[in-house]
Structure 1
């Protein structure tokens, strides 16, 4: 491994079908006023809400509720949360839901005591908080984002047609604890499940497809990807397979808790492309990634043939005998495409509501990063979107 790095991840995880019972012990560490943040109401239908409320009451907490966090949390919703937390004098934020709810809770954590506009400070200037931040705990109900064990937050500004993520540098912004019960994911519709699967896969790829050195992180990534492929096929065949769903949930956490990013420059351009699509269409995050991935990878393939060939051989079991490096690499992407279609992923942005006329705005909303094998220019971004229609 080349370069220098530090690693710290303070999030405490409770994993398994009995994991919620540890919530009460964690709540004792924080003040009396808890802001309960959740999404559209599925936690009330499946009984998770009542279980959490019962534990909060038993812990003697004063609970204020903030429902309605949407899949792509908006700036207006962030402002609403700031007002609610200030009114309650919130001591801690408890997020119950998927990655969007966890992302939102962290964005709220750094904004409640901030005197500046959070959009400008955190998502335009990418500054770090100078104010006191609120502790966050998560009860995860969907596997995919890895938000339960990192310091990232993504907020959408519909007015400006921008969806921007900020990975904060300070580990205190990571959730103090996260509860991961795979049973909570069993009732998800297939569309959401497979979108989460691809989000996991792409998180690993964004870190894997960078650098040319012999890096331990790449070997870990390949193992995670192989596990994900195995479990995703089992879960699509039998959505109630607890073992498969538990493996997906655990892989999601390790895909984006910064472990496999160590020693890597990281790419993240698929996320930039996908988030631009999401800002324009409000489409499901994992599907926006799936819709642009293959066209992006085919575009950069010749700049990183050794890594794509390794990916084909070590992840997809492509036979390398008698083939050129490019043939191996392209066969690997073909295998990846077959797996994506088997899952039922969206394979183009047209299906998500994007049109040819949107391409100038999609390009404008795409942040161009420099961590991958090819730094794109705007004409290349436009071409990738055109091929993704």
Structure 2
């Protein structure tokens, strides 16, 4: 563990079938006005909305709502929610949904009392949060982003065609999160497997960096193996509680952000996908999968030993008679086979991209990377490979 770090995670997690029973006690810590933040109505279909509202009313809370939060939440939606917060003097934002809803809730929290343009200040200039914030809490219905236990808030500015992520400090983390794996049962397979790759990508972004012996890498390998095992079971039987609970907790662990401690980390895949999402509004996990395979094939020689380790420790690749390069590529091939087995989309055309979009996506992508620093031309080459993927 060669890199210094400070780790602080203040989120309380209530996990399991009876986790919602903890909501009443948590609400006693907040004022009278609660803003419910949710998406396009799926929480009503599964009965969760009625349960939550009943508890809020039982606790004597006034309820206001921001609804229709989209899969890639926009800055316009953040501003809409911020106005509701100010107009109603909201005491707590309760996000009920997946990572996008929770991300948007955090955006609303920091934007509500920001006297400047919050997008410029917080997502473009990454300035410290120095204004009043509103506490956020969450009830999770989709496993993938880990937003229930971190400060991440990925917001899309439609006017600028930019999808930007900001990791806010611990005072913006959800104060508590309620995780009941049963709330994920009704998800369509498309959303479930998109979330599965999202959590895997968070782990791989931390893993594919550094050359030293880091405890975090051993933990990442174990969680990846758990995801791979549980994903196959959950796809076969979406109401298998054990596999769904393992996936939900793996997603939280993947991005809480314990797995990246003492790691330089990569995050180039996410930067490319963010811009794909800004242009196509595609499902985040699908975009990540489409980028990851050509990206890893583009950079693997620059981090060869780690890709060999990935192949052997995560996928169990047989090394006999193989060169390091062959082993590394076999690991990436195993990742691709798993992606296809899960029904995860890897072709950018299927995600709504056109060939004409690719240069603009490449030019607007933030350059990060660990083992290899890309150019815009490199990113365009990766996008072109993802565009014709089969």
Scaled by the length of structure 1, what TM-score is found?
A: 0.99
Q: Aligned partners of 1:384 and 1:246: how far apart in 2?
A: 34
Q: Number of aligned pairs?
A: 387
Q: Deviation of residue 363 (structure 1)?
A: 1.2
Deviations 1:204-256 (Å, cap 9, x if unpaired)? 00000000000000000000000000000101111111111010000000000
Aligned mates of 2:3, 2:140 — CA distance in 1: 34
Q: What SS does structure 1 have at the residue aligned with 2:178?
A: strand
Cα deviation per residue 1:253-300 (whole Å; 9 max; x = unaligned)? 000001011000110011011111100001111111011110000000
Using the alignment, how far apart are the partners of 2:94 and 2:3 within structure 1?
Answer: 37
- Helix, strand or coil at the partner of 1:304: helix
Distance apart, 1:102 and its partner CA: 0.4
| Paired position in structure 2 for 1:302 | 301
TM-score (structure 2 length as normaliser):
0.98
Q: Hey, what's the Cα distance between the residues in 2 that align with 1:326 and 1:377?
A: 23
Distance in 2 (alpha carbons) for counterparts of 1:119 and 1:112: 12
Task: Check the 8 A contact 1:292/1:348 in 2, yes or no.
Answer: no
Distance 2:121 2:54 in 1: 37
Q: 1:381 aligns to what?
A: 379
CA contact (8 A) 1:363 1:378 kept: yes
Mapped to 1, the partners of 2:265 and 2:55 lie a distance apart of 40
Name the stretch that deviates more: 118-127 or 209-218.
118-127
The answer for the alignment partner of 1:325 in structure 2 is 324
Following superposition of structure 1 onto structure 2, how do residues 70-149 of structure 1 map, counting pairs within 5 Å? 70-149=70-149
Q: Does 1:190 align with 2:157?
A: no
Q: Which residue of 2 is the match for residue 55 of structure 1?
A: 55
Alpha-carbon offset, residue 175 of structure 1: 0.3
Q: Could you list the runs of 5+ residues in structure 2 that have no partner in the other structure? A: none
Partner residue in 1 for 2:34? 34
Does the residue aligned with 2:305 lie in a helix, a strand or coil?
Answer: helix
Preserved CA contact (<8 Å) 1:94 1:136: yes
Deviation string 1:352-371 (CA, Å, 9 cap, x unpaired) is 1111111121013211114x
For 1:303-354, what per-residue CA distance to the aligned partner results, in whole angstroms no more than 9, with x for missing partners? 0110000000000000112211111000111111100000000111111111
Give 1:191 shift.
0.2
SS, match of residue 367 in structure 2 = coil
State the partner residue of 1:260.
Answer: 259
Per-residue displacement from partner, 1:145-188 (whole Å, max 9, x unpaired)? 000000010100111111000001x2111000000000000000
Q: What SS does the corresponding residue of 2:347 show, helix, strand or coil?
A: coil
Partner of 2:353, secondary structure, is: coil
Q: Structure 1 stretches (4+) deviating beyond 4 angstroms?
A: none
Coordinate RMSD, CA, aligned: 0.7
SS of the residue 2:186 aligns to: coil
User: 2:160 aligns to what SS in structure 1?
Assistant: coil
Structure 1 residue 269 corresponds to structure 2 residue 268? yes
CA distance in 2, matches of 1:364, 1:41: 36
